[in-house]
Amino acid sequence: MDMRPIGVFDSGLGGLTAVRALRQILPEEQLIYFGDTARVPYGGRSRETILKYARQDVRFLRSFDLKAILIACGTVTTTSLETLQAENPLPIVGVVEPTCRRALLVTKNKKVGIIATLASIRSGAYEAVLRRLDPSVEVLGKPCPLFVPLVENGRFRPGDVVIETVAREYLEPLKAAGIDTLILGCTHYPLLTEIIRDVMGPEVTLVSAGEESAFELKRLLKAGGLRAEEGAHCGGADFYVSDQPEDFERIASVFLQENIRYAARRIDIDQY
């Protein structure tokens, strides 16, 4: 039994969807979330810059005595996961491999789609892992660069012509190509589940990156004897950001899908 907290970080607040999944899957665990809101988004930056930022994020989180870290950021996972794992003596889980394993488990026709930010799709990281795990899989990647700003501006609800138009443009080519499994490869996308399901239809299974990472982390903690006492109490969560978003409570409530009334604490990430 290990009551130390789990660290979770992302380039911004989107990673809070992973916090939501962790709370459902590991309700007893204490969580410490860091969102690098001063430097969001990471996606367009160079590999060196992303690694530099990711190292600072991990150094900040490790200023607490943690038992594990979940990287809720696809960009950091695809560029820096192995380096961070080599440099830090605690379990670190990314978002890519658990998600790919799940997608390969559920696909029947071996045609898997992946939607993510432009940087993630260009990195080819999901595709590389899918092919390593199963060389016979056919992968169709599609960047959806407007999904993040639309979600952050509250446009994720069915009936909104803006999100529905953009979603149809992005997703119809994937549907036409006959995929039976679609990876939601960005922290923001779980909020678009209903919109995406409306376009893709019931025959396509959606696999959400944050949720699969939370299951992977649960397996790792169990295997290492690192779980908190189960059923004993409900673990809380502390939120840190590198720049105070004016409406943290509103945005955080959207991603966590519950009303939160506490503010995030601001830290100076340049000092880490």
Active site residues: 73, 186
Give the residue with the Cβ less far from a second copy, 20 or 39.
39
Give the residue with the Cβ less far from a second copy, 150 or 192.
150
Give the residue with the Cβ less far from a second copy, 113 or 245.
245
CB of 79 to a second copy, least distance (A): 13
CB of 172 to a second copy, least distance (A): 15
Question: Site residues (CB under 8 A) for a second copy?
Answer: 37-39, 44-46, 49, 118-119, 122, 145-146, 148-150, 152-153, 155, 161-162, 165-166, 243-246
Omega before 41 within 30 of 0, i.e. cis: yes
Q: Which tokens sit at 69?
A: 């870290």
Return d(Cα 120, Cα 141) in angstroms, integer.
10
CB of 43 to a second copy, least distance (A): 9
* HSE value, Cβ hemisphere, 13 Å, CA-based, for 138: 9
Give the residue with the Cβ less far from a second copy, 13 or 214.
13
CB of 52 to a second copy, least distance (A): 10
